[in-house]
Amino acid sequence: GDSVTQMEGPVTLSEEAFLTINCTYTATGYPSLFWYVQYPGEGLQLLLKATKADDKGSNKGFEATYRKETTSFHLEKGSVQVSDSAVYFCALSDRSGGFKTIFGAGTRLFVKA
């Protein structure tokens, strides 16, 4: 079945450092790919998405490119801030899977001032 694998955390960075969180997926169809974020004490919210190969999703300085050839959707940000500290979830949703979303285990990011 479909699955998502993302790098284990926690990831600890200093402010203004470059961030990469790796995510790879396995899917039988042509999924849409998502990054969700969960800030401390808050619910899951969509950070960015991409619906087809080579699409780049971007939001709040974060970017991820849908790479079909490597089945990857790595999250990047050029300069992180303390306020980016959160748990990040890579996810996919596939029409052939009935639109349910399959999530990775999450990567906790700590950003130090």
Q: Which residues bind other proteins (CB under 8 A)?
A: 4, 31-32, 34, 36, 42-46, 49, 51, 89, 91, 93-95, 98-106
CB of 86: closest distance to other proteins in angstroms?
A: 14
10 upstream amide cis, omega within 30 of 0: yes
Nearer to other proteins, 17 or 103 (CB): 103
Q: Which is nearer to other proteins, 11 or 44 (CB)?
A: 44
Tokens for 49? 């998405």
Closest to other proteins by CB, 18 or 52: 52
Q: Which residue lies nearer to other proteins by CB, 29 or 78?
A: 29
Q: Shortest distance, CB of residue 102 to other proteins, whole angstroms?
A: 7
CB of 61 to other proteins, least distance (A): 19
